[in-house]
Amino acid sequence: MNSLNLTAIDAALAATARIPATAAELAKRGQIKETAQNFEASFLTQMMAPMFEGVGEGEFSGGHGEQMFRGFLLEAMGKQMARNGGVGLAASVEREMLKLQGLTEQPVTENPA
């Protein structure tokens, strides 16, 4: 191939990279973001569980009811932490999921010129 062909290929690739994101792509990105956030929430829930193992085993505990609902409390705390930024795991997971789907980190929203 000569340099003229390579220049034309590079120009075509650059133009393709500026194609605006479609509604389907934006929906897929939203699903990926939600999945990554849910993964981080689940991770945080599992990481917090050992912190609460010995809590409430005394005379003034909530008894069997508290033990039954502790999992729900941990899950709610994990979801809230993930919604508020978490530990950064969701961003890494989202970035890798986008790569696996062949998408860039940020959708292109400008019109091609």
The reply to whether 109 falls in a domain is no
The reply to whether 95 falls in a domain is yes
Confidence of residue 103 (pLDDT cuts 50, 70, 90): confident
pTM: 0.68
The reply to whether 107 falls in a domain is no
The reply to whether 57 falls in a domain is yes
Tell me how far apart the alpha carbons of residues 17 and 113 are, in angstroms, rounded to a whole number.
12
Range(s) of the domain holding residue 93: 3-100
Once rounded to an integer, what is the mean pLDDT over residues 94-102? 91
The reply to whether 81 falls in a domain is yes
45-56 pLDDT, tens digit each: 999 999 888 776
3-state secondary structure (DSSP) of residue 65: helix
Tell me how far apart the alpha carbons of residues 93 and 96 are, in angstroms, rounded to a whole number.
5
Choose between 55 and 13: higher pLDDT. 55
Structural domains of the chain, count: 1
The reply to whether 21 falls in a domain is yes
